[in-house]
């Protein structure tokens, strides 16, 4: 087994095909195909199912990918360690967040201090954030809770209650505060299962004997916001994420003390000493409200 063979396999798996892997590695597609073929032949294992130009990992390929993710992530960490000054001048920082709203002030400060670092931010619910970190597809995550898993290092960003919100012309726009029994009498717009906001809301309601059922289920915070703005129902979000939208009116929930959302900045414990990760945590801590 050679390093180039594992690298070819890894890039085909993560890029989704031989052509894209070749482009990423600045090699020809036949060269990449040959390296993967030799790896499969040497160990008598099928790593990809190749059907009609589609490349799908086999069970063995999935298992090997978990290993190569760690391998090439460690390689990246070694490169950063050996070039510490360059890591903070021209590195790449990948963030996946359940809401980027909590990061805006940190991102601005980080960019000001390290303008050469390229940052990518993508959205995802709790499950997506955790899996992205475990799979080395992200360096940092933002979750709507403080995780208890020992494999993570985490810092609290802020804490705020879950609120309801409606369109400005909705019949409840002047309610000010709502109870769970009152909510249950109206159409509700809930996020997909796996959303911490939805989970907090449903658990608190069930504790009071109320079953909140969605009239509309939408994936993602922005989708819920647009649906609610159309007047289709009542949506829910943490107060810190409500932001400014003249189309919408926030409504407090009773009892709100049972639905506090703790937004946490997290990373894998093994990645906490990475220069970029450490620098981002330092800025986040410096900007955290007293």
Taking residues 220-224, report their average pLDDT. Answer: 89
Fold annotation for 3-65: Arc Repressor Mutant, subunit A (1.10.10)
159-261: CATH topology is D-Maltodextrin-Binding Protein; domain 2 (3.40.190)
Confidence at residue 186, expressed as pLDDT on a 0 to 100 scale: 95
**Domain assignments of the chain as residue spans, ordered by start:** 3-65, 81-157+262-287, 159-261
SS3 state of residue 209? coil
Q: What mean pLDDT do residues 240-262 have?
A: 87
Between CA 77 and CA 49 the distance in angstroms is 31
d(CA 140, CA 277): 7
Would you state the structure tokens that stand for residue 188, as one six-digit string?
A: 């509700």
What is d(CA 197, CA 201) in angstroms, rounded to the nearest whole number? 6
DSSP letter assigned to residue 33: H
- Beta strands (DSSP E) in 14-72 are 48-51, 54-57
Asked whether the beta carbons of 114 and 88 are under 8 A apart, the reply is yes
- pLDDT at position 290: 65
Q: Is 2 exposed, middle or buried (0-12, 13-18, 19+ CB in 10 A)?
A: exposed
Does the pLDDT of residue 249 top 80, yes or no? yes
Query: Nearest CA to 131 among 56, 194, 216?
Result: 194
- Hey, do 3-65 and 159-261 end up sharing a CATH topology, with the first three levels equal? no
Arch. (CATH architecture) of 81-157+262-287: 3-Layer(aba) Sandwich (3.40)
User: What are the tokens at 231?
Assistant: 């007047």
pLDDT level of residue 86 (50, 70, 90 thresholds):
low
Phi, psi of 29 (to 5 degrees): -65, -40
Convert the pLDDT of each residue in 103-150 to its tens digit. Answer: 889 999 999 999 989 999 998 888 889 889 988 889 999 987 777 778
pLDDT band at 214 (very low <50, low <70, confident <90, very high): very high
Classify the C-alpha dihedral 234-237-238-243 as positive or negative: negative
Q: Is the peptide bond before 87 cis (omega within 30 degrees of 0)?
A: no
Separation between Cα atoms, residue 110 and residue 182, nearest integer Å: 44
pLDDT at 59: 93
Q: How many CB atoms lie within 10 A of CB 105?
A: 13
For the chain, percent of residues with pLDDT exceeding 90:
50
With a cut of 80, say whether residue 65 has pLDDT above it.
yes
CB 268 within 8 A of CB 149: no
- What distances in angstroms separate CA 188 from CA 96, 122, 165, 221, 248, one per listed residue? 27, 26, 10, 14, 15
Cβ-contact 48, 61 below 8 angstroms: yes
């Amino acid at each position: 087994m050679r390093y180039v063979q594992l690298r070819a396999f890894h890039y085909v798996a993560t890029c989704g095909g031989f052509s894209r892997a070749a482009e990423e590695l600045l090699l020809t597609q036949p060269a990449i195909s040959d390296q993967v073929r030799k790896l499969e032949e040497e160990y008598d294992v099928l790593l990809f199912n190749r059907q009609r130009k589609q490349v799908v990992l086999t069970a063995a390929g999935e298992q090997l990918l978990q290993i190569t993710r760690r391998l090439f992530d460690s390689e990246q960490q070694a490169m950063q360690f050996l070039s510490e000054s360059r890591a903070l001048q021209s590195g790449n920082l990948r963030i996946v967040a359940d809401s980027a709203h909590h990061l805006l002030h940190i991102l601005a400060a980080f960019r000001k201090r390290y303008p050469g670092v390229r940052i990518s931010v993508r959205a995802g619910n709790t499950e997506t954030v955790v899996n992205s970190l475990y799979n080395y597809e992200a360096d940092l995550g933002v979750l709507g809770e403080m995780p208890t898993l020992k494999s993570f290092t985490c810092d609290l960003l802020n804490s705020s209650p879950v609120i309801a919100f409606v369109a400005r012309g909705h019949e409840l726009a002047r309610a000010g505060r709502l109870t769970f029994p009152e909510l249950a009498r109206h159409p509700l717009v809930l996020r997909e299962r796996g959303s911490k906001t939805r989970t907090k809301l449903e658990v608190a309601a069930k504790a009071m004997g109320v079953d909140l059922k969605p009239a509309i289920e939408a994936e993602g915070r922005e989708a819920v916001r647009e649906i609610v703005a159309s007047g289709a129902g009542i949506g829910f979000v943490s107060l810190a994420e409500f932001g400014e939208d003249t189309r919408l009116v926030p409504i407090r929930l009773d009892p709100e003390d049972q639905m506090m959302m703790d937004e946490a900045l997290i990373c894998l414990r093994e990645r906490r000493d990475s220069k970029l990760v450490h620098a981002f945590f330092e800025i986040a801590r410096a900007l955290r409200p007293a």
